[in-house]
Amino acid sequence: MRVLLICPSFEEETFIGVLGLVAPPIGLAYVAAALENDGHEVKIIDMLAEKKDKSRIRKDIMEFKPRVVGVYSTAFNKSIEVINIAKGVDAHVKTMTGGPHATLVPEELLLKNQSLDVIVCGEGEVTVSELIKAWESNRDIKTIKGIVFRKNGHIVRTPPRPLIQDLDSLPFPARHLLPMEKYHFFGGLKLGTIVSSRGCPYGCRYCSVPVMYGKKWRPHSPESVVDEMEHLDANYDLDFILFVDDNFDLDKERTERICDEIVERGLDVVWGIQSATVHPEEEHLAKMRDAGCRVISYTIEAASNRAIDTMERETNKEEMKKIIDSTTKMGMMVVAHVVLGLPGEDREDVAETIKLMKELAPHYALFYLPTPYPGTKFYESAKEMDIIKELDWGKYTTGNPIIETKMLSLEEAKELNRMAWKEFYFDPKIIKNNLRTTYKFIRDGDVKLKHIPTLLYHITRTGVHLFRL
């Protein structure tokens, strides 16, 4: 069966622009690999990376003539536009969507759009495989676990799909179907991504990861992780590999085994992790550095005293400083994720957070406004407090205010977020720190001379963007 998988374009958020990040839709590539193993003809379109608009998508659908169109759903409005286009081209085409947004509110999304046939909840590899087989043989889909669909005017939700326990059993993502040359980091470094684990045991108030991937952390084996790194290194001309797990180094021993495996195989790659747990021991960080790790991203989130209490975080400011100082000392770049304007915070609290981030001096601080996703404790408490003021799912981004509290209005929250970006990145200490680190990466060969023009362009473009915020 001919299957077309589409990742819609979306409005660029500030943090994506600052990082110069265009990343592959790795989830769709996993699903595509499973379908290719079943013998289906699969095509992936990444609208953002390929710069394709709705008219081009319509033409692609007409030319490829798929029997099934699957659309990844983060900002659902964009997904529905694509699904409507598919049905407009062929009223008989089967349509499905999956991803975080679809998994969180499937019934609502089905009720709002008659062009959508099925929503796949949670992990998609096995579910989509079974769904396509059922459609191909005209069988009833009601026995397939992990889906929500419409039947005789009613919404039907099947039992949840058990989580995939052996991630090593999955084939590598079908990256050959992606425009890999178009993905980059810091504007010019060719980027590949790996998901080395799934799930999160922490149950943070604001996080939707357990809804999508469960509360049990499920890792790939170290050998499988490094096999995939070797595959990327051998088949794609990459400059950087980014691990996009939510908890890459939850198991310190596994992390160190991965590092040992990289060194033992003589694999010369530069890599980083987008979400690290707290292991500030210098011996551990040194092992990661020696294996090629150059970027570590810490999820600090709550930085003011009030925010730390609100989000029930155990990390304190002294620990934050120790973590960032230790990582920087090891010669690695630090990215910090920070949430501004949590319930109970006022302007002074936000100012305290901004001041603290300038003192801690990570190389990059990414500032977000709090977003109450359905299925999270934060959503339930925000709903109970009646502070959710934005109901348009298309506006649920990290830079758009969703909640309004007695302390901060929607407009005040948005203005404080703009202020945070400007104050941090135009601080002389931060500028000097970043220039020093960039020079070190160039000197040590982690960034090649050929990348300097694109990096300079990215830095200039980012500065102009932040100035205009």
- 165 within a domain of the structure (yes/no): no
- 176 within a domain of the structure (yes/no): no
Contacts of residue 283, defined as CB under 8 A and 6 or more positions apart, other chains included, come to: none
- Cβ neighbours of 234 (radius 10 Å): 8
Q: What is the CA radius of gyration of the chain?
A: 22
* Boundary-marking domain end, from 113, 139, 157: 157
**DSSP per-residue letters across 280-331:** --HHHHHHHHHTTEEEEEEEEE--SHHHHHHTT----HHHHHHHHHHHHHTT
CB-CB contact of 104 with 373 (8 Å)? yes
* 330 and 425 share one domain: yes
- 163 within a domain of the structure (yes/no): no
* 130 and 237 share one domain: no
- 167 within a domain of the structure (yes/no): no
If residue 81 lies in a helix (H) or strand (E), which one and from where to where? helix 76-89
By three-state DSSP, how is residue 220 classified?
Answer: coil
Q: What is the pLDDT of residue 299?
A: 82
* 151 and 236 share one domain: no
Cα gap 324→132, rounded to integer Å: 47
Sign of CA dihedral 200, 201, 207, 210: positive
CATH number at residue 461: 3.80.30.20
Give the pairing of strands 271-276 and 240-243: parallel
* 459 and 382 share one domain: yes
* Boundary-marking domain end, from 98, 122, 157: 157
- 178 within a domain of the structure (yes/no): no
* 308 and 388 share one domain: yes
Cα gap 267→315, rounded to integer Å: 34
* Boundary-marking domain end, from 123, 157, 191: 157
What pairs with residue 70 in β-bridges? 5, 96
Q: What is the pLDDT of residue 343?
A: 86
The owner of tokens 């069966």 is 1
Q: What is the pLDDT of residue 72?
A: 94
Give the pairing of strands 333-339 and 364-368: parallel
Low-confidence ranges of the chain (pLDDT < 70): 12, 75-76, 278-280, 301-315
* 52 and 187 share one domain: no
Cα gap 334→356, rounded to integer Å: 15
By three-state DSSP, how is residue 189 classified?
Answer: strand
If residue 46 lies in a helix (H) or strand (E), which one and from where to where? strand 41-46
* 89 and 211 share one domain: no
CB-CB contact of 128 with 120 (8 Å)? yes
- Cβ neighbours of 166 (radius 10 Å): 9
* 144 and 17 share one domain: yes
* 425 and 384 share one domain: yes
- 22 within a domain of the structure (yes/no): yes
Q: What is the pLDDT of residue 236?
A: 96
- Name the pTM for this structure: 0.94
- 169 within a domain of the structure (yes/no): no
Nearest alpha-carbon partner for 216 in 232, 231, 230, 200: 200
Provide the residue type at 450 as one letter: K
- 168 within a domain of the structure (yes/no): no
- Phi and psi at 7, nearest 5°, equal -105, 115
Q: How many domains does the chain have?
A: 2
* 135 and 213 share one domain: no
Tell me the CB-side half-sphere exposure of residue 178, using CA atoms within 13 A: 29
CATH number at residue 136: 3.40.50.2300
- Give the CA distances from residue 183 to residues 12, 51, 117, 242, in Å, rounded to whole numbers and listed in that order: 15, 12, 31, 11
Burial of 114 per CB tally in 10 Å (0-12, 13-18, 19+)? exposed
Cα gap 176→181, rounded to integer Å: 11
Tell me the CB-side half-sphere exposure of residue 90, using CA atoms within 13 A: 16
Cα gap 112→416, rounded to integer Å: 34
CB-CB contact of 46 with 72 (8 Å)? no
Residue 348 CA, chain-centre distance (Å), reads 30
- Provide the domain limits for residue 332: 183-467
Give the pairing of strands 189-194 and 240-243: parallel
* 148 and 187 share one domain: no
* 306 and 444 share one domain: yes
Cα gap 71→87, rounded to integer Å: 13
Q: What is the pLDDT of residue 311?
A: 60
If residue 419 lies in a helix (H) or strand (E), which one and from where to where? helix 410-425
| Longest Cα–Cα distance in the chain | 66
Cα gap 424→211, rounded to integer Å: 33
Sign of CA dihedral 171, 173, 174, 176: negative
Contacts of residue 401, defined as CB under 8 A and 6 or more positions apart, other chains included, come to: 341, 369, 389, 390, 410, 411, 413, 414, 417
